[in-house]
Amino acid sequence: MMKLHLSEVQLCSLSKYSIKLAYSQLVSPSGNKMYWANAIWCKLAQPKHRFISWLAVLERLSTKDRLKLFGVSVDDLCLLCGVEVENHSHLFFGCQYSSRCWEQIAGFLQINTSIRSLPQLIKWIHRRKFTKFRKGVLFTFAWCLVYHGKMEDASALKSFATLSRGAIFAKSDASSRARGGRHHQNYGNG
């Protein structure tokens, strides 16, 4: 199994073979820890906030630009503001809705409001000479904002889809009536 993922050179380069060393080589070949790992998996934040934030940092959330890329969405405009392309940067920092939320929370927490991406935010907090607890609180607020921003976006997408389906049903009902067709409330007794 190891041979499928690690070359002989990589295995032989280990000073002493152990499962732990081989596993760490598989997980992170360069040996570098992700700069955002401690920030995302902060114990103060709720698990659902951490999970959504982890996906956001990796840019794996289902934003409209990604949905359009996969052929799921027709357009890639933000549902919250309807002005710009909805990508991760826009959704959490560029959108009028999220900008207002971010500015209020950043002002309250005394965070630099010129930050326009999650990696920038993580690095900014890490560089500050704050206590570990204060950094945890800042990350917890940030992940809460990320989570609720994404949930608001998902809610808007769901409302849009429901409205679209409702409009389709209304049009089909109207065209059925225009043709003289009979619309039954109870489809089973037709």
pLDDT digits (tens, 9 = 90+) for 20-55: 777 776 666 555 567 788 899 888 999 999 999 999
Cβ neighbours for 147, distance < 8 A, ≥ 6 positions apart: 46, 48, 49, 52, 53
- pLDDT one-digit tens code per residue, 95-131: 888 888 888 888 888 887 788 889 999 999 999 999 9
Average pLDDT, the chain: 78
DSSP-derived secondary structure for 85-144: B--HHIIIIISHHHHHHHHHHHHHHT--TT--SHHHHHHHHHHS---HHHHHHHHHHHHH
The confidence score (pLDDT) of residue 189 equals 45
- Give pLDDT, residue 2: 40
Residue scoring higher pLDDT (35 or 75): 75
Q: Rounded distance, CA 50 to CA 53, Å?
A: 5
Measured between alpha carbons, how far is 91 from 29 in angstroms, rounded to an integer? 32
pLDDT of residue 73: 85
What pLDDT is stored for residue 184 in this prediction?
Answer: 43
**CA-CA distance, 102 to 169, in Å (whole number)?**
38
Given a cut of 70, is residue 144 above it in pLDDT? yes
- Whole-number pLDDT of residue 3: 40
CB 76 within 8 A of CB 86: yes
Query: Which pLDDT value is given to residue 99?
Result: 87
Q: Show the tokens assigned to 101.
A: 């939320």
Contact by Cβ (8 Å): 64, 77: yes
Q: Is the pLDDT of residue 4 over 50?
A: no
* Predicted pLDDT at 183: 44
How high is the pLDDT of residue 185? 46
- pTM tops 0.85, yes or no: no
50 by Cβ neighbours in 10 Å (0-12 / 13-18 / 19+) ranks as buried
Residue that has been written with the tokens 């996969």 in this structure: 70
**In which band, very low, low, confident or very high, does the pLDDT at 6 lie, cut at 50, 70 and 90?**
low
Task: Spell 8-45 as b/e; 16+ CB within 10 A means b.
Answer: eeeeeeeeeeeeeebeebeeeeeeeeeebeebbebeeb
Nearest to 42 by CA among 185, 153, 138, 184: 138
